[in-house]
Every structure is written in structure tokens, then in C-alpha cells.
Amino acid sequence: MKKILVLNGPNLNLLGTREPAQYGTTTLPDVEAMCRAECERRGYELECFQSNWEGALIDKIQEYGRLWKAGSALGCVFNPGAFTHTSVALHDAIKGVDGLPVIECHISNVHAREAFRHHSYISPAAAGIIVGFGVQGYLIALDGLVRTRENGSAA
């Protein structure tokens, strides 16, 4: 059974506990359970990982790059949090794994927010981008990943 990674960056462990107007009331464990149910339904094994540390996120992307090369991973749904707007290192990590499809996912519509959130270092390296659908965006991103990459398809 191929693996899918749902990766979350800094402060997303606080989801559902603060700023409900911006990010809703669903917690990260709730989001992970929704994603797990969807992956099981579709016949994939889900790993969820959250870190507030850039290097830990890079290590996980590299690990999935190796799994993808070995044919054991389908791809990754990634909410890089505020590292979206700052991290050349995460951009390089995604480029560096060369092949692993990474779908960038944001809960809020970053383009309707402060100007500093309008630029993403991740988007040029991502296979696709989902923004502004709340936590349902994770499921939309999973759907897009499976629809386009299942059975070796890259359409």
C-alpha cells in the first residue's frame, strides 16, 4: 500500500484553539483523522507529521523523496505555515527530491490577506496549490493528488 504524507509547518499544532475567525475550530488531530479516513477509503496509508522546525520538515520531505523513488509513496500535501513566505530551504528541499509531487495547501485565502502572505517560495516547486477552502482544502488536495498521480499518471 503506497504512502501519502500530510505535512504541517509552524504553529499549525494550534489549529482550532486560537484565531477561529481565520482558521476555524477544527483541530489538527481532527484534520488528520479526516485525511486518514479519506486515504483508507482510497487504499492509501497516511502519515501525518507536524513540526515547528524547518529542518525537521526538510528531513521529512527528503525521506518521502526516497520513498517516492522506491515506488512506495504517492506524494505529499503540505501546509508550510509561515515558512511559505520565508523559506528558500523548503523550496530547495522540494526541488531537490525531484519527482515527489507536493501539493501546497493553505487553510485561508492568503491572497486576500496581508501583502507579505501573497508571495510563496513553495509554489514554484509545488505540483499544485489549494488555498482558501478552510480545512476542507486538505481533502481537496488529497483528491487532486490521487486523481492526477494514481497508477503512475502525472496528468
Q: Give the catalytic positions in this structure.
A: 23, 106
Nearer to ligand CA2, 33 or 131 (CB): 131
Residue type, 146: V
* Residue 66 C-beta: closest distance to ligand CA2, Å: 26
The residue behind cell 523548503 is 90
- List residues binding ligand CA2 (CB under 6 A): 11-12, 14-15, 18-19, 23, 79, 81-82, 84, 106-108, 110, 117
CA distance linking residue 141 with residue 132, whole number of Å: 12
CA distance linking residue 37 with residue 133, whole number of Å: 19
Nearer to ligand CA2, 31 or 67 (CB): 31
CA distance linking residue 109 with residue 60, whole number of Å: 26
Nearer to ligand CA2, 5 or 107 (CB): 107
